[in-house]
Amino acid sequence: MRVRISSSLTRIHTIPSLSPIPTQVSKHSTIPYSTTPQTPKPPHEPQYSSPINAEPLHRYTTGGYHPITLGSLLHQGRYKILHKLGWGGYSTVWAARDEQEGRYVAIKICVSENYSNRGHQEINALKSPDDTQHVVRMVDHFDVEGPNGIHPCLVLEMLGPSVSDLVKDRFADGRLPGSLAKGVARQAMMGLDVLHRREIAHGDFHIRNLAFAITPTGNVPEDEFINLLGRPDIGYVRCNDGGRLGPGIPEYIVRPANIHLRSRPLSNTIKIVDFGESFPQNDAPEILRTPLVVRAPEVIFKDRLDHRVDLWSLGCMLFELFVGQPPFDNFMITPKILVEQMQEMAGEALPDRWVPLWESMRGEDVTEDGGPGLQEWLEEMYFDGERKEDLSRDDIVELGRIIRKLLRFEPGARTSVEEILNDPWFRD
């Protein structure tokens, strides 16, 4: 454990250990397809319950999730549902067999609320036939109508674990080897560069939304494929007052697959996934639900947003890829604490237009002593004496130089993805 005293709080950094994947799957745990952010809060007294801890049952209502049973056929019988892969606040994700093409796919079934603008913006971001070498490929999309409304569905190529889950599962010290981290970073940036050239912002760029491709599974028999995911574990839903289930409530809940195709060989290809927060350059949202620890400061200060939010997140991602943890605290973090740490890292003043909001956020709590800057913190965390070090101090100096170009408060001052890709350190 590493403890750092900063101007905002004591920073406690735990070193991840090899541990079983939790049974509750969210966008930050196991499956690289599930969507964004926090699930809406449940009612005080839950009406339904299930022994399976997965997506919240109160979201099976008008505007919410679509109830699914294993073996269901979707889109005029083309897709057969075989297992659950995950869930998020705005979708459930299922492994399915494409009976027409003889392949396995992931189907992301979005909530129906407002006919799911989120689902359609994701479809729009992925439906271009441009280069998909490092961006998840959408092979089909359709709508399904059910008791809770009309739900956009994305049919995605089957991918392997996220980078985050691979680290947890295969590297006991929670850190990728330097050469592998460099390869992952380069491919992730190649995918991000394709998006930015198309004037699309990902909006939720971090290592949990980077996934490894896998070897093709189309020739694997259906029963063997299910065994690769683990036999489905189901828990029947009951009404807590003894009544009957409502029309939009599923008969049972399926526990998500614990380990995604673990026994299948991974390829060396990295793809960007989860486009639930993506947006075109000419139609930026007012807010983004990027995890706070990698959220760009202009989101916190309610400034105009564009694709350069991804550049700040890229800087955070590079730090985490090589060091094994984000540059900012992810324990008990608040916007106020985060901004203080951002100032320590960036080593520059906030733009004048943000100062009034910052003063109201900070209140009377003004701290004089600053913590370490970016380079000092990067070296302290990489050369911590507890985890494997296979990069030289010169490498870490170069990495700090690159990250510093991205962690700039003014979006216009951040270096483009293309420039980072062309940096000699990444070309070596």
Give the start-to-end residue ranges of the domains of the chain.
47-167+212-277, 284-427
Q: Summarize pLDDT for 158-194 with one digit per residue, the tens.
A: 998 899 988 988 888 889 999 999 999 999 999 999 9
**What CATH number is given for 284-427 in this structure?**
1.10.510.10
Contact call for residues 134 and 85 (beta carbons, < 8 A): no
Residue 378 in tokens: 């990067």
Q: What is the pLDDT of residue 295?
A: 95
Q: Summarize pLDDT for 141-158 with one digit per residue, the tens.
A: 999 999 999 999 999 999
Contact call for residues 427 and 324 (beta carbons, < 8 A): no
- 118-137 mean pLDDT: 81
Residue scoring higher pLDDT (12 or 371):
371
Cα separations in angstroms, 349 against 164, 194, 346: 32, 32, 8
Q: What is the pLDDT of residue 217?
A: 78
| CA proximity to 144, closest of 208, 83, 81 | 81
- 253-273 mean pLDDT: 78
| CATH fold for domain 47-167+212-277 | Phosphorylase Kinase; domain 1 (3.30.200)
Q: How far apart are CA 159 and CA 358, in angstroms?
A: 41
- 339-356 mean pLDDT: 94
Is pLDDT of 262 > 80?
A: no
Percent of the chain with pLDDT over 90: 64
Is pLDDT of 99 > 80?
A: yes
Compute the mean pLDDT over every residue in the chain, rounded to the nearest whole number. 86
Q: How far apart are CA 207 and CA 325, in angstroms?
A: 10
Q: What is the pLDDT of residue 7?
A: 39
| CA proximity to 209, closest of 156, 146, 286, 131 | 156
259 band by pLDDT with thresholds 50, 70 and 90: low
Q: What is the pLDDT of residue 98?
A: 96
Phi, psi torsion values for 285, nearest 5 degrees: -75, 170
- 110-133 mean pLDDT: 77
Q: Is 108 annotated as a binding residue?
A: yes
The distance of Cα 136 from the centroid of its chain, to the nearest Å, equals: 13
CA dihedral 328, 334, 335, 336 (to 10 degrees): -100
What's the angle, vertex CA 426, arms to CA 424 and CA 428, rounded to 5?
65
Q: Summarize pLDDT for 269-325 with one digit per residue, the tens.
A: 999 999 989 999 888 988 898 999 999 999 999 999 999 999 999 999 999 999 999
Q: Where are the alpha helices (DSSP H) in 324-373?
A: 335-346, 355-362
Cα separations in angstroms, 85 against 96, 202, 262: 10, 22, 13
What pTM value is reported for the model? 0.86
